[in-house]
Every structure is written in structure tokens, then in C-alpha cells.
């Protein structure tokens, strides 16, 4: 009997540490990319997120961002308008800015803040802030249009009235192929795991995407008038 009372707490603790929720999601996306020059480009992305396990739509967003690229550094800033489909449609606005350094092996730090539109602070609405730290390694195959990479990202959360600190991490395996001068296709396989919650959630994501290139129109060259005496 004494052994039973000794084993029971151990069984309870093992249940705590192994309890988790697994979901499968689909995030199809399409991006219009406009290159201003060799350093600057503008992206407009539309993405839909759905829970495959339940067959429900989670959210849809449109994000506009401007990106700067040099040999080993990158800067980016963007605004995302989000529609979340809960019991009702909630509109959120998210802003981010990030800096990354490196080429084949790169490190990126991103600050992002999100707020629900139409809700006052007195009604319980506070800014949802995160710092994100990502390490990315390129796995490119030489002499081919196929590019691949693997990345590990940690999320640090800051929000009034919420559980703050490092709350999740994300693995991302990416592969993309340039099909023509007009665009490229790709697929991200994501595994995201929560850390600090009672019932930590593990999410697997398939993210197929297509990027369309929009080029500046070059001015038409004026045709030289024909002169038979030239």
C-alpha cells in the first residue's frame, strides 16, 4: 500500500510533463514582390491559415513590407492586417522590424507588436509584444535553381496580464524553386512547440507559397527617324 502512494505522485508528474496537444495546420501564401533596385524590394503577401485537424479557418492576413539587403546584412519593416476567425471576426494590426546578419549562416532578431482594433485598454486590450531570435543555415545545392534551408527560432513574449518570457520555439525546413523570371514556388515545413503552458501545444504546419516578381517598366527607346542620306 505504501508503494502505491509512492508511485501515484510519480504517475501524476509524468502525466504533467507528457501532456500536450498536437495540431496540423495549412498556411498557403502568395506574395507580390517589387524590386526597386538591387538593395530594396517591397513585398505584399496574402496568407490564409487553417486548422486541418478541425477543418476551421483560423485567420487571414495581408502584410506589406519593405526590405533592404547588402552583402551580409538585411533590414526589414512591415505592417500586417489580420482577421482572426474566432466566435466572431477580430481585426488586429501587427507591426514588425528586424535585423539580420550573415549569409550562408545568418542570425535575425525581430521585434513585433500586435493590437486588436476597436478595443480600448479599459476593455482589457493590451499590446502583444514579442522578440524573436532566429538562426538560419542555407543548404543550397550548387548549379541548380533549387534552394533550401533550416532555421530555429525562439519567441520571447511581453504582454500585460500574460505569462511572459520564452514561450515557444519553431523549426522551419524550407525549399524553393525558381520556375521562371516571373516567379518561384516554395514549401515550408514548420514544427512549433510551446514551452511554459500547462498543456503545451505542438503545431505542424505545411506552408506552400508562390512569389510573383513585378518589374519596373523600362522606358521605350525612341526610334530614330529614317534618313536615306545617312
Strand partners, 51: 25, 56
Q: Is the pTM of this model over 0.85?
A: no
DSSP state of 3: H
**Does pLDDT of 80 surpass 90?**
yes
Question: Measured between alpha carbons, how far is 48 from 27 in angstroms, rounded to an integer?
Answer: 6
Q: How many residues make up the chain in this entry?
A: 230
Per the CB < 8 A criterion, the answer to whether 112 and 132 are in contact is yes
Q: Rounded CA gap, 198 and 38, in Å?
A: 48
Answer whether residue 12 shows pLDDT above 60.
Answer: no
- Is the separation of the CB atoms in 181 and 208 below 8 Å? no
| Rg of the Cα atoms in the chain | 23
Categorize the per-residue pLDDT at 227 as very low, low, confident or very high, splitting at 50, 70 and 90.
low
What pLDDT, in 10s, does the model give residues 26-43?
999 999 999 999 899 999
Domains in the chain, ordered, with CATH?
19-214 (2.40.160)
Rounded-to-integer distance, Cα 153 and Cα 13, Å: 28
Tell me the average pLDDT across 197-219: 87
Amino acid at each position: 500500500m505504501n508503494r502505491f502512494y509512492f508511485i501515484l505522485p510519480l504517475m501524476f508528474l509524468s502525466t504533467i510533463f507528457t501532456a500536450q496537444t498536437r495540431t496540423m495546420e495549412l498556411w498557403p501564401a502568395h506574395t507580390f514582390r517589387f524590386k526597386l533596385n538591387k538593395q530594396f524590394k517591397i513585398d505584399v503577401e496574402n496568407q490564409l491559415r487553417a486548422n486541418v485537424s478541425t477543418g476551421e479557418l483560423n485567420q487571414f492576413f495581408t502584410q506589406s513590407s519593405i526590405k533592404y539587403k547588402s552583402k551580409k546584412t538585411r533590414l526589414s519593416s512591415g505592417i500586417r492586417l489580420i482577421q482572426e476567425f474566432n466566435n466572431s471576426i477580430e481585426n488586429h494590426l501587427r507591426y514588425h522590424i528586424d535585423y539580420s546578419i550573415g549569409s550562408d549562416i545568418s542570425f535575425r532578431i525581430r521585434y513585433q507588436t500586435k493590437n486588436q482594433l476597436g478595443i480600448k485598454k479599459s476593455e482589457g486590450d493590451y499590446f502583444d509584444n514579442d522578440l524573436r531570435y532566429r538562426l538560419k543555415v542555407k543548404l543550397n545545392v550548387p548549379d541548380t535553381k533549387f534552394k533550401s534551408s533550416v532555421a530555429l527560432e525562439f519567441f520571447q513574449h511581453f504582454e500585460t496580464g500574460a505569462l511572459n518570457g520564452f514561450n515557444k520555439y519553431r523549426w522551419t525546413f524550407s525549399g524553393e524553386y525558381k520556375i521562371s523570371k516571373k516567379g518561384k514556388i516554395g514549401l515550408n515545413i514548420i514544427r512549433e512547440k510551446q514551452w511554459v503552458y500547462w498543456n503545451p501545444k505542438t503545431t505542424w504546419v505545411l506552408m506552400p507559397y508562390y512569389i510573383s516578381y513585378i518589374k519596373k517598366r523600362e522606358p521605350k527607346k525612341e526610334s530614330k527617324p529614317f534618313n536615306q542620306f545617312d
